[in-house]
Amino acid sequence: MTDSVIATKGLRKSYRKTEVLKGVDFNVRRGEIFALLGSNGAGKTTTIRILATLLRPDGGTSRVGGFDVVESPDKVRQSISLTGQFTAVDEMLTGRENLHMIARLRHLDHPRDVVEGLLERFGLADAANRRAGTYSGGMKRRLDLAMSLVGTPSVIFLDEPTAGLDPEARLEVWKMVKELAKGGTTVFLTTQYLEEAEKLADRIAILHGGRIIADATLSELKRLLPPARVEYVEKQPTLEEIFLHMTGKEAGRREEN
């Protein structure tokens, strides 16, 4: 309990008469990748907006990095970073200028070094002087993630980080999220792709009907169902494997864990 970075108890939120969250409880431990899984309209974004201090809950409490999101939002904002559903990059500015803007807004001492480091790390060094508007979807998302990492926040919120990305870009995002977690960053992500939660998350919570109906590791969740039977099934390649093979990317890359 002591090492939980995000602690949420009895979180409630309604829009007009629709009760979206009816008492949501969960804890996220330091350095883990926590996936909030749910169908469209389940309240994933609402939850993430409350945790990121953008929305006030109607009831319940949430503490992020030890601070209450309602009582001391400024303290919470010091340690978090939000990557929303849409890539929030300024398309009129170059990749470098986007990062530099965030670095200056985070009041960093050496913004330039931080920016160059991130450009390198996210494979954007060659495109750094091009306007973000000319980037591909995957590059925009990479820049978006890089912007979230300026100032090394200890908790990162990713709201459907791979929605609308092609398979290659999706694998890239997954790789980066894993690297982040290895470096000790806590990652809270929402997704509606079961595969994404399965591949990425240390722990998975399922949000359904306004409550968390399951909160466990993947292997624990699997134990909830009757034990697996052994069956022989011919293994057909998935379309994803075919796509990646034909476009010259290794499908094996995502199998690394």
Partner 1 sequence: MEARFFFNDMGVMVGRSMRHIFRSMDTIIKVAIMPIAMMLLFVYVFGGAIQSGADNYVSYLLPGILLMAIASGIAYTAYRLFLDVQKGIFERLHSMPIAHSAVLWGHVLTSLVSNAMSLIVIVLVALVMGFRSPAGILSWLAVTGILLLFTLALTWIAAIAGLSAKTFEGASAFAYPLMFLPFVSSAFVPTRTMPGFVRAFAEYQPVTSIVNATRALLSNQPVGNDIWIALAWCVGVTVVAYLFAIRAYRRRVLSR
In the complex, the residues that contact partner 1 under the rule CB under 8 A are 49, 52-56, 74, 77-78, 80-93, 97, 101-102, 104-107, 131, 147
Rounded least distance, CB 238 to partner 1, Å:
32
Which tokens sit at 148? 């979230």
The answer to whether the beta carbons of residues 9 and 60 sit under 8 Å apart is: yes
Smaller CB distance to partner 1: residue 153 or 206? Answer: 153
Smaller CB distance to partner 1: residue 93 or 221? Answer: 93
Rounded least distance, CB 17 to partner 1, Å:
15
Smaller CB distance to partner 1: residue 82 or 197? Answer: 82
Rounded least distance, CB 6 to partner 1, Å:
14
Q: First-to-last CA distance in the chain?
A: 27
Rounded least distance, CB 49 to partner 1, Å:
7
Classified as helix, coil or strand, 105 is helix
Smaller CB distance to partner 1: residue 58 or 220? Answer: 58
List strand residue ranges (DSSP E) for 184-230, in order: 186-191, 203-208, 211-216
127-159 b/e (C-beta count within 10 Å ≥ 16 → b): bbeebbeebeebbbbbbbbbbbbbbebbbbbbb
- Residue 229: exposure state from Cβ atoms within 10 A (0-12, 13-18, ≥19): exposed
Rounded least distance, CB 64 to partner 1, Å:
11
Smaller CB distance to partner 1: residue 87 or 162? Answer: 87
